[in-house]
Amino acid sequence: DFSVAVENDISGEDITVHCKSGDDDLGPHVLKTWENFHWNFHGNFGGTTLYFCHVTTQDKSTRFDAFKYSKDRQRCSPKCTWK
């Protein structure tokens, strides 16, 4: 089992976080400063689990891999936090 959290550490600004995998769309979440969004999951049998997130602020947008089994299975056991 794995757990991933995305936390807003931008003072005074809300962010929108939208995370997905090939099978699951976790939906958009608006986070105020110091709030977080987290989820738990099992890695798939083939070891190819990938969750990616889009993060949007008032004037910027970025995408990152929140969990990629091949690189994060040990680092994120049991939890990864992104800020």
pLDDT in tens, the chain (83 residues): 899 999 999 999 999 999 999 989 999 999 999 999 999 998 887 889 999 999 999 999 999 999 999 999 888 888 999 99
Number of domains in the chain: 1
63 assigned to some structural domain: yes
Which residue range forms the structural domain that includes residue 62?
A: 2-71
Predicted confidence at residue 43, as pLDDT, reads 85
55 assigned to some structural domain: yes
Predicted confidence at residue 45, as pLDDT, reads 78
How far is Cα 62 from Cα 54, in angstroms, rounded to an integer?
Answer: 6
47 assigned to some structural domain: yes
32 assigned to some structural domain: yes
Q: What is the token pair recorded at 1?
A: 């089992």
77 assigned to some structural domain: no
Predicted confidence at residue 12, as pLDDT, reads 94
Predicted confidence at residue 44, as pLDDT, reads 83
Compute CA 34 distance to the chain's CA centroid, rounded to the nearest angstrom: 15
In what helix (H) or strand (E) does residue 70 lie, and over which residues does it extend?
Answer: helix 69-72
81 assigned to some structural domain: no
Q: What angle do CA 10, 13, 17 make, to 5 degrees?
A: 80
The residues, ordered by sequence, that sit 6+ positions from 50 with a Cβ below 8 Å of its Cβ are 21, 22, 65, 67, 68, 69
Question: Cα-flanking dihedrals φ and ψ of residue 70, to 5°?
Answer: -65, -30
